[in-house]
Amino acid sequence: MRSDKAKSGMQQAPARSLFRALGLTEEELERPLVGIVSSYNEIVPGHMHLDKIVDAVKQGVAMAGGTPIVFPAIAVCDGIAMGHEGMKYSLVTRDLIADSTECMALAHQFDALVMVPNCDKNVPGLLMAAARINIPTVFVSGGPMLAGHVNGQKRSLSSMFEAVGAYAAGTMTEEEVEDFACKVCPTCGSCSGMYTANSMNCLTEVLGMGLPGNGTIPAVYSERLRLAKKAGMAVMDMYNKNICPRDIMTEAAFRNAMTMDMALGCSTNSMLHLPAIAHEAGVVLNVDIANEISSRTPNLCHLAPAGPTYIEDLNEAGGIYAVMNEISKLGLLDLSCMTVTGKTMGENIKGCVNKNPEIIRPVDNPYSKTGGIAVLRGNLAPDSCVVKRSAVVPEMLKHEGPARVFDCEEDAIDAIKGGKIVAGDVVVIRYEGPKGGPGMREMLNPTSAITGMGLGSSVALITDGRFSGASRGASIGHVCPEAAAGGPIALVEEGDIIAIDIDAHSVTLKVSEEELARRRAAWKPVKKPVSGYLKRYARLVTSADRGAVLEDE
């Protein structure tokens, strides 16, 4: 056992005295030590119940012959952090989570791990850690929130942000907004649409690192506790068979994940997280392959905010394995990939039928013949940018209009809510990238304000920041190079014409090369005051097209 290094032999007698101080018996010390990485806290709704999930995991580990030992991981609630400096501290936690989990796992020589995450950066951070540490590991998330109900309609957090925009437009009263605030988030769990947290939990199933149902079983269902017990038992089976994350998270598994990303219509944040997780697994995952995969992968699901259905509906329709089984009919998945079940993906999805063709469209009747995410390029984004194509209304797939330029999110929101943005405009928000923000803030507030003001089908937004999975509309993010690195987005001036053609994968700043050269010669970057961890992060972080990973020194 790996843990023997920490507990066996005369040399480790002092360590054994400390294990006994924990209350561990001789019998427990003779078993494999399984670290349970608990993301429980009392500030994130998706995490407030994880203590119950962790207790169930511990029971599963103990039933299967292991000794479970809990240690923590941090998590930020993106919704609470949204719209102020707190959002600068969201993406950056991904690396803190990976680093601290590595430190705890290797310092104490655990034999195996069960990761218990749920929300946005917490899931990819722990997947990065799993790939890096590479000991038997299973994921079991806290599960999605149930959708809220307002005036007889299902609603979610994205509806809440759009309600604020509607209030600014004068189409909702303060009382109506507060009614939404009381009802759209009715339970614990990750917010109920195909936002970033649920996207990553669903893709954890596709990668093979989570048991079936990990991404879709609602947080409040007792089935989630049974799943957690099974996860504890599964990690012991992995330990006995010596199946490790890098045996599972192969290049083929990442291609499967990107394929299913397109079919499900996941958050654009997956285009940051999948390359970063792959990097830790020793796999190069270039976002350039996204369009190639999208071109042959139909979009089968329109979950909120793209449509009126929610993760609970996807669960009832058969879950992720049902979608995978549907997509496998086109021969687009490598079904030989190993998973935490000890079986191949092909064995796992066999017989998983689509129970509701309105929630999971059949491959012969997709929402679109191409996938939910598109990567664009052009002289405004030479190294790429990303859009959630499935959440763009048809009339905005091609758009041309004057740039309205802002050097931070707050100024853009003031202009939108102040009625200064009109139909046809292209809102440009820059200096919000990984280095420039720093921290690459999500732009859910401005996109929701645009939608709430009734401009969702006539105004585009382009940023070197990123978007919440709850954003919809012609929201183009991850512009690379970012403004702080001297990318062309830094040279855009008020009134410049920007042309967007999502089907052609292009975004063009209609300014001559000579004029851009003149502007570049006169350019001075915007410097934002920064200190502490953000200062170190800004110095080390790479561009979004590389997954915003930290550069090894």
Catalytic residues, by residue number, are: 468
Strand-pair partners of 399: 500
Residues listed for the chain? 553
Chain center to CA of 534: 21
Closest CA to 75 of 101, 36, 114, 47: 47
Cβ(399)–Cβ(388) below 8 Å: no
**Is the backbone of residue 318 left (phi > 0), alpha (psi -120 to 50) or beta?**
left
177: its two tokens: 């907004």
Q: Using alpha carbons only, what angle is made at residue 463 by residues 457 and 468, rounded to the nearest 5 degrees?
A: 70
Separation between Cα atoms, residue 337 and residue 549, nearest integer Å: 26
Q: Say which amino acid occupies 106.
A: L
Three-state DSSP class for 94?
helix
Q: Say which amino acid occupies 247.
A: D
All residues at 6 or more sequence positions from 245 whose CB lies less than 8 Å from its CB, including other chains:
130, 131, 133, 134, 135, 137, 209, 281
Three-state DSSP class for 203?
helix
Chain center to CA of 6: 35
219: its two tokens: 């947080």
Separation between Cα atoms, residue 539 and residue 485, nearest integer Å: 12
Dihedral sign computed on CA atoms, order 328, 333, 336, 339: negative
Please report where in the chains the tokens 């030590």 appear, as a residue. Answer: 33
304: its two tokens: 């909120």
Cβ(189)–Cβ(45) below 8 Å: yes
Please report where in the chains the tokens 């699901």 appear, as a residue. Answer: 301
Closest CA to 474 of 384, 374, 547, 369: 374
Cβ(414)–Cβ(462) below 8 Å: no
Separation between Cα atoms, residue 156 and residue 147, nearest integer Å: 6
Side-by-side strand order, sheet with 112-116:
67-72, 33-38, 112-116, 137-139
Q: What is the DSSP string of 146-183?
A: PPEEETTEEE-HHHHHHHHHHHHTTSS-HHHHHHHHHH
Q: Say which amino acid occupies 129.
A: A
How would you class 420 by CB atoms within 10 Å of its CB: exposed for 0-12, middle for 13-18, buried for 19 or more?
exposed
Closest CA to 545 of 204, 290, 342, 341: 290
The count of other CB atoms within 10 Å of the CB of residue 200 is 34
